[in-house]
């Protein structure tokens, strides 16, 4: 878009003078003090704060166990290992996600198989999963896109009929619920992320929740080089100093000061989600009747935790494409984004044999979506700035 056309949309002035990002962490004095307390203690790497954080997350979602990791990606890698994913195994997942969801399959020599999505919810479609199952399929990795849970019961039914492990990528869904039950207990393993734009943050960090003790023990060893000090599990025993590396694991441990930040953040999680919902309510009311734009579709039997607010453009009614709308909103100082580029569009995936056209609905959705700012410290004025900018740009380019 030319500078001239941007000025025409703005009418000479942007809606906002200061740039508004699409996401942002909320760190307060209690969080800072929690980290300081650990930095002044005897443990700053792996100590008691890790165990406490794991227990609190498990209690919050209702799972028996939780295992902390250095990142969400590390947690997904560990989950695939614990699921037994090996070379040439196939794992079905969605293309509308960050590459880490699929990369964790490749790390173990497996093959990601991309299932198409439901056009309304943008979540993985169970019917598409069913069609892709072969004798090589080992697992399914679902993604609760934007924070709205997938069709868990139907996917669980498919998995049980075919003896598949289900891993939920719930990076968007901490605090979300499906049929009045929190995400984190339904499947074999559920992964949460604590990246700064997520619901709570530890800087970087991730967590796997599970109800299976065997999976929990594999996860714990995987994050610590495959090393155990458990005397019962030792193959040999040279004395009280002795430990054994029993398989090739990784150093995926979270630090105690990260965990202490997570503990402090978790106390505010419900408040953070409530604030997100207030912004969503303002957006929904403002945009529900706006031509050339569709608001998110939410199933009535689930509660989204609203990690992202993604609008859909009616591209057939617009005078321009998504790129021009995106650039115009940026010119208004609104920090829009796009979530996500279909994974198999990326050059690396193209290089290893994936082609466009595999998931037509996901590809169509990609051409329509724009993510608007949404984070708990946004003010009402921030939200109205977003609303005014969107109305201004869409009205300018919409075929009335």
Q: Where residue 122 sits, what CATH number does that domain have?
A: 3.40.640.10
The pLDDT tens digits for 243-288 are 999 999 999 999 999 999 999 999 999 999 999 999 999 999 999 9
* pLDDT at residue 387 greater than cutoff 50: yes
The predicted model gives 380-393 an average pLDDT of: 97
Q: Where residue 302 sits, what CATH number does that domain have?
A: 3.90.1150.10
* pLDDT at residue 3 greater than cutoff 60: no
The pLDDT tens digits for 328-346 are 999 999 999 999 999 999 9
C-alpha of 144 from chain center: 7
The pLDDT tens digits for 30-78 are 999 999 999 999 999 989 999 999 999 999 999 999 999 999 999 999 9
The pLDDT tens digits for 107-134 are 999 999 999 999 999 999 999 999 999 9
Q: Are residues 121 and 101 in the same domain?
A: yes
Contacts 24+ apart (CB under 8 A), 360-366: 360/116, 361/116, 361/117, 361/118, 361/119, 361/125, 362/94, 362/95, 362/96, 362/114, 362/116, 362/117, 364/119, 365/96, 365/117, 365/119, 365/122, 365/312, 366/96, 366/338, 366/340, 366/341, 366/342
The predicted model gives 138-163 an average pLDDT of: 98
* pLDDT at residue 156 greater than cutoff 60: yes
| % of the chain beyond a pLDDT of 70 | 97
Q: Are residues 357 and 237 in the same domain?
A: no
Q: Are residues 43 and 20 in the same domain?
A: no
What pLDDT was estimated at residue 8?
Answer: 46
The pLDDT tens digits for 234-252 are 999 999 999 999 999 999 9
Domain boundary residue among 227, 242, 266? Answer: 266
Cα–Cα distance measured from residue 238 to residue 246, given in angstroms and rounded to the nearest whole number: 15
Q: Are residues 211 and 314 in the same domain?
A: no
Domain boundary residue among 266, 294, 320? Answer: 266
Q: Are residues 295 and 384 in the same domain?
A: yes
Q: Are residues 221 and 351 in the same domain?
A: no
Residues 6+ apart with CB under 8 A from 131: none
Q: Are residues 118 and 153 in the same domain?
A: yes
Residue in 209, 148, 206, 195 with CA at minimum distance from that of residue 173: 148
Q: Are residues 222 and 284 in the same domain?
A: no
Residue in 288, 298, 292 with CA at minimum distance from that of residue 123: 298
C-alpha of 116 from chain center: 18
Q: Are residues 10 and 92 in the same domain?
A: no
What pLDDT was estimated at residue 244?
Answer: 97
What pLDDT was estimated at residue 7?
Answer: 46
pLDDT band at 1 (very low <50, low <70, confident <90, very high): very low
* pLDDT at residue 12 greater than cutoff 90: no
Q: For the chain, what is the domain count?
A: 2
Please provide the average confidence, as pLDDT, over all residues in the chain.
Answer: 96
What pLDDT was estimated at residue 283?
Answer: 98
pLDDT band at 399 (very low <50, low <70, confident <90, very high): confident
The pLDDT tens digits for 192-229 are 999 999 999 999 999 999 999 999 999 999 999 999 99
Domain boundary residue among 266, 299, 319? Answer: 266
pLDDT band at 144 (very low <50, low <70, confident <90, very high): very high
Q: Are residues 179 and 289 in the same domain?
A: no
pLDDT band at 13 (very low <50, low <70, confident <90, very high): confident
Q: Are residues 275 and 191 in the same domain?
A: no
Domain extent at residue 214: 29-266
Q: What backbone phi and psi angles, to 5 degrees, belong to 190?
A: -130, 135
Q: Are residues 201 and 226 in the same domain?
A: yes
């Amino acid at each position: 878009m030319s500078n001239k056309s941007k000025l025409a949309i703005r009418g000479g002035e942007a809606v906002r003078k200061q740039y508004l990002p699409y996401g942002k962490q909320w760190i307060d004095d209690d969080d800072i003090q929690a980290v300081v307390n650990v930095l002044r203690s005897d443990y700053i790497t792996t100590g008691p704060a890790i165990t406490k954080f794991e227990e609190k997350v498990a209690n919050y979602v209702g799972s028996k166990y939780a295992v902390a990791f250095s990142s969400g990606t590390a947690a997904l890698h560990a989950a695939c290992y614990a699921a037994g994913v090996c070379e040439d195994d196939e794992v079905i997942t969605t293309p509308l996600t960050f590459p880490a969801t699929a990369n964790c399959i490749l790390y173990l020599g497996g093959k990601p198989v991309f299932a198409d999505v439901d056009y309304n919810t943008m979540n993985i479609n169970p019917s598409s999963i069913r069609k892709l199952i072969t004798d090589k399929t080992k697992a399914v990795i679902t993604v609760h896109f934007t924070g709205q849970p997938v069709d868990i019961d139907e996917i669980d039914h498919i998995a049980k009929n075919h003896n598949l492990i289900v891993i939920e990528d719930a990076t968007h869904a901490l605090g979300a619920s499906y049929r009045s039950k929190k995400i984190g207990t339904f499947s074999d393993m559920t992964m949460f992320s604590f990246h700064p734009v997520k619901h709570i943050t530890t800087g970087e960090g991730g967590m796997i929740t599970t109800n299976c003790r065997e999976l929990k023990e594999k996860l714990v060893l995987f994050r610590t080089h495959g090393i155990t000090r458990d005397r019962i599990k030792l193959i040999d025993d040279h004395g009280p100093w002795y430990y054994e590396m029993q398989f090739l694991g990784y150093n995926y441990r979270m630090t105690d000061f990260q965990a202490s930040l997570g503990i402090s953040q978790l106390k505010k999680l419900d408040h953070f989600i409530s604030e997100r919902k207030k912004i969503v309510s303002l957006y929904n009311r403002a945009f529900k009747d706006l031509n050339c734009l569709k608001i998110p579709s939410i199933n009535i039997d689930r509660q989204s935790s609203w990690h992202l607010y993604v609008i859909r453009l009616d591209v057939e009614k617009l005078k321009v494409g998504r790129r021009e709308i995106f650039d115009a909103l940026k010119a208004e100082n609104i920090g829009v984004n796009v979530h996500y580029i279909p994974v198999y569009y990326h050059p690396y995936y193209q290089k290893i044999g994936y082609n466009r056209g595999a998931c037509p609905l996901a590809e169509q959705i990609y051409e329509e979506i724009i993510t608007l700012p949404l984070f708990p410290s946004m003010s009402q004025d921030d939200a109205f700035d977003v609303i005014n900018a969107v109305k201004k740009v869409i009205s300018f380019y919409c075929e009335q």
